[in-house]
Amino acid sequence: MATMNDLAPVKTSARGQVLSFVKALNEEDFEFARSCVSDDMRFEGVLGSRNGAEAYFNDMKKMKLKYDVKMAFEEGNDVCLLYNLQMSGLTIFGCGWYHLENEKITSLRVVFDPRPVLEKQQK
């Protein structure tokens, strides 16, 4: 079975690059996903932030989130995804704002209602 790593690199739109990144996360192809981001990627979310790709991917490997993308919008080097996110046994609707420079994701800001996650942690 071919993985995304077997594919020859193809220059694509920012939207296409982000969707390829999310697809790789869904498939737990962290090597390919890592190749889509800059070393100094910045992540900001409602439950915390991370500086650097290594810190972000350490979390991703543990959490193994699954994205069901509903909409994808692109404006220049910015991409916005609306998705259902499988997290901690819950399905949560969220939004991710990805910024790219030199064809790499340099920042990701995520917004969702954290109450279901926080309530589950309290049980």
DSSP-derived letter for residue 52 is: S
Q: Looking at residue 19, what is its pLDDT?
A: 96
Taking the C-alpha atoms of residue 91 and residue 113, their distance in angstroms, rounded to an integer, is: 11
DSSP H helices in 11-111: 14-26, 30-35, 53-63
pLDDT at 3: 45
Q: How far apart are CA 72 and CA 94, in angstroms?
A: 12
Instruction: Please tell me the CATH code under which domain 13-122 is placed.
Output: 3.10.450.50
- In this predicted structure, what is the pLDDT of residue 123? 73
What does pLDDT average to in each consecutive run of 10 residues of the chain (123 residues)? 45 89 95 96 93 94 93 96 92 97 96 87 78
Q: How far apart are CA 116 and CA 84, in angstroms?
A: 14
> What SS3 class is residue 105?
strand
Position 114 scores a pLDDT of: 87
Report the C-alpha gap between 68 and 94 in whole angstroms. 10
Sheet strands (E) in the chain: 37-45, 48-51, 66-75, 78-87, 90-101, 104-112
pTM of the model: 0.86
Q: Which SS3 state, helix, strand or coil, does residue 70 take?
A: strand
